[in-house]
């Protein structure tokens, strides 16, 4: 006779065995751990670099505006500190690129040619609108405070929405138009040296938006054309090759309610223009042309 006690029904119905973890889940968990370790190592490396730069004699302290509406925890505007090793001839743009490449790859700003002709890196540096690629760090006091252009919607960090600025520029029809073409098919449409000198400075506009950002009138009135757009109108209205009929059309555009007469001659646009365009003078000259255009002697 067997002495083995038979297992009860309760005993035989044991708890279900735990399913083995799938290889796919193990791989995902491993990747997550590796990513966390890598991020921690990168953060530690960045911290060490910043500490080394902070202790170095030749370094600049940057306070950079940060904002990201799409990332939780970064939706509240703040300033981040970066200590950037200084080299002779270093610009604000160079320092921002170094901070992005070495410390924080999420730092976002616009830049393109780095030769002060594309206008994409206009920002608010130490309380004034400047082109970062043209602004020397050595000319600034520390900490160098870098912010997006005022009076524009911030998209992320130092990037602002330029759509309204471009709309105002397009409103003045910023392209050459004329009905006074030469009779000969191969004949040039000539311009006198004097007329070329008159419009020369106005042609230097690089559409950076610095002047518009500095204008208090534009800040309070979205319909105002703004100094950049009016300067572009000046460039063509004063070009003798377009003819009197087209000049009349351009004067009608700029002498409307939100055109040249909104300017209060504060000279803020002229002061911040990175291409040294006498914007306020051009606006005043267009005012005089508009007055003469409406004078009637009879």
| Spans of all domains in the chain | 43-159, 163-178+194-294
Rounded Cα distance, 224 and 209, in Å: 14
Q: What is the pLDDT of residue 283?
A: 97
Residue 236 near residue 176 (C-beta atoms within 8 A): yes
Helix, coil or strand: residue 80:
strand
Report d(CA 110, CA 101) in Å as an integer.
14
Look at residues 124, 92, 145, 116 and name the one whose alpha carbon lies nearest to residue 212: 124
pLDDT in tens, the chain (298 residues): 444 545 544 444 554 555 555 777 777 778 778 777 777 776 676 666 666 655 556 899 999 999 999 988 889 999 999 999 999 999 999 999 999 999 999 999 999 998 899 999 999 999 999 999 999 999 999 999 999 999 999 999 999 999 999 999 999 999 999 877 777 778 888 899 999 999 999 999 999 999 999 999 999 999 999 999 999 999 999 999 998 899 999 999 999 999 999 999 999 999 999 999 999 999 999 999 999 887 765 5
The pLDDT of residue 45 is 66
CA dist., res. 54 & res. 111, Å (int) = 26
pTM (2 d.p.): 0.77
CATH class, range 163-178+194-294? mainly alpha
pLDDT of 5 reads 47
Say which residues have a Cβ less than 8 Å from residue 297's Cβ, sequence separation at least 6.
Answer: none
The answer to whether 43-159 and 163-178+194-294 have equal CATH topology is no
Q: What is the reported pLDDT for 183?
A: 79
Output the pLDDT for position 179. Answer: 77
The reported pLDDT for the residue numbered 39 is 72
Q: What is 43-159's CATH number?
A: 3.10.20.30
Quick check: 292 and 263 in contact, CB under 8 A? no
Question: Alpha-carbon distance 262 to 209, whole Å?
Answer: 18
- The two structure tokens encoding residue 138: 């050595």
């Amino acid at each position: 006779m067997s002495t083995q006690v038979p297992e009860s029904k309760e005993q035989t119905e044991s708890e279900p065995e735990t399913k083995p973890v799938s290889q796919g889940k193990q791989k995902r968990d491993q990747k997550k751990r590796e990513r966390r370790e890598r991020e921690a190592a990168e953060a530690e490396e960045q911290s060490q670099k910043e500490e080394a730069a902070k202790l170095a004699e030749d370094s600049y302290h940057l306070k950079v505006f940060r904002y990201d509406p799409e990332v939780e925890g970064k939706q509240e505007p703040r300033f981040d500190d970066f200590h950037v090793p200084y080299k002779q001839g270093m610009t604000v743009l160079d320092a921002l690129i170094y901070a992005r490449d070495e410390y924080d790859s999420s730092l976002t700003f616009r830049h393109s040619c780095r030769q002060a002709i594309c206008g994409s890196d206009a920002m608010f540096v130490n309380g004034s609108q400047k082109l970062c690629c043209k602004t020397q760090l050595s000319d600034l006091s520390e900490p160098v405070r870098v912010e997006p252009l005022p009076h524009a919607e911030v998209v992320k960090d130092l990037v602002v929405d330029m759509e309204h600025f471009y709309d105002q520029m397009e409103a003045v029809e910023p392209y050459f138009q004329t009905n006074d073409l030469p009779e000969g098919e191969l004949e040039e449409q000539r311009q006198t040296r004097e007329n070329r000198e008159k419009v020369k400075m106005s042609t230097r506009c690089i559409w950076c938006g610095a002047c518009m950002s500095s204008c208090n009138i534009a800040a309070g009135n979205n319909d105002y054309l703004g100094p950049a757009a009016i300067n572009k109108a000046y460039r063509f209205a004063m070009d003798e090759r377009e003819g009197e009929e087209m000049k009349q059309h351009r004067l009608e555009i700029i002498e409307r309610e939100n055109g040249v007469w909104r300017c209060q001659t504060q000279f803020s646009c002229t002061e911040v223009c990175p291409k040294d365009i006498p914007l306020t003078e051009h606006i005043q000259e267009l005012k005089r042309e508009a007055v003469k255009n409406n004078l009637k002697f009879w």
